[in-house]
Amino acid sequence: MPVLPLRIYGDPVLRARAKLAQTVDKSFVLDLFDTMKAEDGVGLAAPQVGVSEQVLVLAVPVKKHQRVDLTLVNPEITLAEGWEVGE
């Protein structure tokens, strides 16, 4: 799968509210995972590759040298505690 070009801080698509995803193409999700892994990341959202939709992929560590890959589509925060400031 191809590695997608990343948008850099300051790009307008990163400031815009992403739209709800109506359908999600499996090949796009696989491209997100490949891009995330190529950049040695642990998460990547669709707007970071220029697609303004609420789609996110994560690699969650569960044990040493083991992780679970997750795809979130139109996620909602239902509970939040505390706060953090930073970029």
- pLDDT average, residue stretch 20-36: 96
Sequence ranges of the domains in the chain: 12-73
What's the rounded Cα separation, in Å, for the pair 1 and 4? 9
Question: DSSP H helical segments within 1-87, as ranges?
Answer: 12-15, 26-38
Q: What would the CATH number be for the domain defined by 12-73? A: 3.90.45.10
Look up residue 11 and give its two tokens: 């790009």
Residue 5 pLDDT greater than 90, yes or no: yes
pLDDT digits (tens, 9 = 90+) for 32-84: 999 999 999 999 999 999 999 999 999 988 888 888 999 999 999 899 888 88
Between 16 and 63, the higher pLDDT residue: 16
pLDDT at site 24: 92
**Dihedral, CA of residue 18, residue 77, residue 55 and residue 10, to nearest 10:** 50
Which pLDDT score, from 0 to 100, does residue 2 have?
A: 85
Q: Check residue 4 and give its pLDDT.
A: 96
